Structure 1
Amino acid sequence: RHKKKSDGSFERYKARLVGNGANQQTGVDCGATFSPVVKPATIRTVLSIAISKSWCLHQLDVKNAFLHGNLDETVYMHQPPGFRHPEHPDYVCLLKKSLYGLKQAPRAWYQRFTDYVAKMGFCHSISDHSLFIYHHGNDLAYILLYVDDIILTASSNALRDSIMSKLGSEFAMKDLGPLSYFLGISVTRHSRGLFLSQKKYAEEIVERAGMSSCKPSSTPVDTKAKLSGSSGNPYHNPTEYRSLAGALQYLTFTRPDISYAVQQVCLFMHDPKTQHMSALKRIIRYIQGTINLGLHLYPSSVNKLISYTDADWGGCPDTRRSTSGYCVYLGDNLISWSAKRQHTLSRSSAEAEYRGVANVVSESCWIRNLLLELIVLLRKLHSYIVTM
């Protein structure tokens, strides 16, 4: 496997010993396997707080993270090819630590990391279990964990260096310096704040679709016609459709402008038609023309949370269910957004709007609780209904 740099260039080769856990059964061969990862809204919230308080954002990478996990079960493994004992080729290995490929490996690593940072004085957030918070007097620090990638920010350089030293003494870690590239997202710091971009990832999607030389579109969706799942001819390659639609979902991490359009094409992943593929290609044409767009985060007040919501009424031509959307701002920074079809029918436009309000209030309450855990006190919490 090739390890690449943030610009896509080759960095180094990677190889590792992997166990075959495909036949493991949960509850028999292993216990809990679920391992939480940090939510996108949490990442944007912590980044907004850090730049507003002029804190340094640091990035760490844990080397062979899954090998640090402790196994609670008895697991045997065949001797790896090329390393068999010449006198005992039929012997098997008893694993003392978790290994890549085991179903419990992600959970074991997360539990090991959680236990250690708890000894350092961190507590994991109730709102997001992959966020760890250190608060002692005037000292404050946050750790965001996404499998083996870590973002660390602290109220002082001395506290940050102390935390990095303790983590480095327990785990094999690579100091990547100031935050610049995280989860395929380029992070650029400038005099006015941060710019989050997925340009390289967007270019890969356009190239994968074979549309590198396509004509750009000025909008991501045709607002005149609604997509239907009951008309049109089946698309000849549904796997390609699902692959591109799934790739576009991750692009919405920094591109709220395509959130609604991507939500629409994802409704038909089970049985895509040719018209659905045309709508998906329109999104890609729009991305081709707006490849440099991303998300800006500015230093601003973090004591004000404002949310906006809107909904149509019976917009789905097949089910007549409504679609609602919202966006939430922390100060001047957009930290959360969503476009989603409602689960039930609304008998009036007012009912559709109220369901949209319920969604955004739920998200706002979650963010408020998250901010309270981050020792950020809100002075204003407003929600607005957008009517057209």
Structure 2
Amino acid sequence: MTEEFRALIKNGTWELVPRTPDMNIIRSMWIFKHKFRANGLFERYKARLVGDGRSKQVGIDCTETFSPVVKPATIRTVLSLALQNSWSIHQLDVKNAFLHGTLSETAPRAWYQRFTEYVSRLGFIHSKCDHSLFIYKHGTDTAYIVLYVDDIILTASSKSLKDMIMRHLDAEFSMMDLGQLSSFLGISVTHTPTGLFLNQATYARDILERADMLHCKPAKTPVDTKSKLSARAGPVFHDPSFFRSMAGALQYLTFTRPDISYAVQQICLHMHAPHDGHMGALKRILRYIHGTIDHGIYLSKSPSRSLVAYTDADWAGCPDTRRSTSGYCVYLGDNLISWSSKRQPTLSRSSAEAEYRGVANVVSESCWLRNLLLELHQPVRKATIVYCDNVSAIFLSSNPVQHQRTKHIELDIHFVREYVARGQVRVFHVPS
């Protein structure tokens, strides 16, 4: 508490002003926490003096209350590049991050703006692909900063550059060097001779405990092979708030678990009105997690820097809307860096159309990744290879002739043809 209070005074957090009749007074309170590492071991005690959010009035005391956060694919891409270049990866923590902001309004995102302005003065360029990524390039010296609110990943091409950046940051802000990256956003990072293993076992165990399923019988797969659940799968579930809480928690677990991405997407379709059948599907995922709790994703020092993607789709799979679900995964060299499972926004008149929309989704993601890698000064020299199991969709991606069955497809989907014609994307067949 003393350390927290001294930081408040040092940063000039408040000044006393006369109370006016139109002021809404927000009381302050102390919050005490035990902070744990990603492996579950106790790290330190934390005390925070905060304003009681329950007494705030929206529109008077606050408007937007979010901070920009880094995309998961950006984190995996930066880590992959650091491994390929044999750069050290450090983790920094900012003490009292929000207090470092200089307020120009009553409720700002001041910390993010202050940090952005300062690292720009150090020579970092703000990424256009991801607003929480900062890139430093001077001659042969390269460094990346990934910012997630007040957690920072720093990787640099040399120890002297890394030390220089950390000295500047510590002089401007109150920084804590946590050493080599070991945990980030509740994700455990294990270093091996050939790469990094990302795992959320502690977080997964917390989810199982909240669901009272720590001792359940494990399932071998996250979803069964029966028909998809409809919107009215059995009686209405008695506790929809619990269902939403569990589904939201599982969404964050997909950060390192692409194997549950599709199953989680299916239950999230019913968060607005869950039924007993949907809860049964959610429990199936939890049982699968119980049996695979130590699973995660491995990033290795890959010799290749090519982008290779796989995409697939089911046609009219949703029993209620008859919309299709498409999914993809993208590899940078040997490392899986991006994946998605999503219901398509419109109806498809054929399986070829559904697959073609899936190809368009993964090409869009690949274009973003190519631009990101270009900003990181690690451009992809070869065309992105996209594998699809539908021959008709492959013909659609390269054939400019409009047939009777395809002339209704929106023009924005046909941007795939443009990238194929440019030679930036090549679409090939792969067996189911």
Question: What TM-score does the superposition give when structure 2 sets the normalisation length?
Answer: 0.80
Structure 1 residues 7 and 278 mapped into 2: Cα distance closer, same or farther (>3 Å)?
Answer: same
Bigger Cα displacement from structure 2, 57-66 vs 11-20: 11-20
2:18 corresponds in structure 1 to: none
Contact conserved, 2:187 with 2:199, CA < 8 A, in 1? yes
Contact conserved, 1:230 with 1:318, CA < 8 A, in 2? no
Percent identity of paired positions between Structure 1 and Structure 2? 69
1:150 corresponds in structure 2 to: 152
**Correspondence list, 1:183-222, <5 A:** 183-222=185-224
Contact conserved, 2:233 with 2:276, CA < 8 A, in 1? no
The superposition leaves residues 147-193 of structure 1 with CA deviations (integer Å, 9 ceiling, x where unpaired) of 00000000001100000000000000100000000000000110121
**Please, which of 26, 49, 54 is the counterpart of residue 17 of structure 1?**
49
Distance between the aligned counterparts of 1:202 and 1:176, measured in 2? 24
**Correspondence list, 1:1-388, <5 A:** 1-20=33-52, 23-26=56-59, 34-73=66-105, 75=106, 103-104=107-108, 107-301=109-303, 303-380=305-382, 381-387=384-390, 388=432
Give the number of equivalent residue pairs: 357
Distance between the aligned counterparts of 2:361 and 2:218, measured in 1? 34
Structure 1 residues 6 and 33 mapped into 2: Cα distance closer, same or farther (>3 Å)?
Answer: closer
Structure 1 residues 34 and 202 mapped into 2: Cα distance closer, same or farther (>3 Å)?
Answer: closer
Distance between the aligned counterparts of 1:359 and 1:221, measured in 2? 24
Letter in 1 for 2:170: G
Q: State the Cα RMSD in Å.
A: 1.5
Distance between the aligned counterparts of 2:264 and 2:58, measured in 1? 35
Contact conserved, 1:302 with 1:376, CA < 8 A, in 2? no
Distance between the aligned counterparts of 1:25 and 1:199, measured in 2? 37
Unaligned segments of structure 2, at least 5 residues: 1-32, 391-431
1:90 corresponds in structure 2 to: none
Letter in 1 for 2:113: Q
Contact conserved, 1:153 with 1:160, CA < 8 A, in 2? yes
Misfit runs of 4+, over 4 Å: 28-34
SS state at 1:205 partner = helix
SS state at 2:136 partner = strand
Which structure has the higher relative contact order (CA within 8 Å, separation 6+)?
Answer: 1
Distance between the aligned counterparts of 1:228 and 1:36, measured in 2? 35
Question: What TM-score does the superposition give when structure 1 sets the normalisation length?
Answer: 0.89
Bigger Cα displacement from structure 2, 350-359 vs 295-304: 295-304
SS state at 2:326 partner = strand
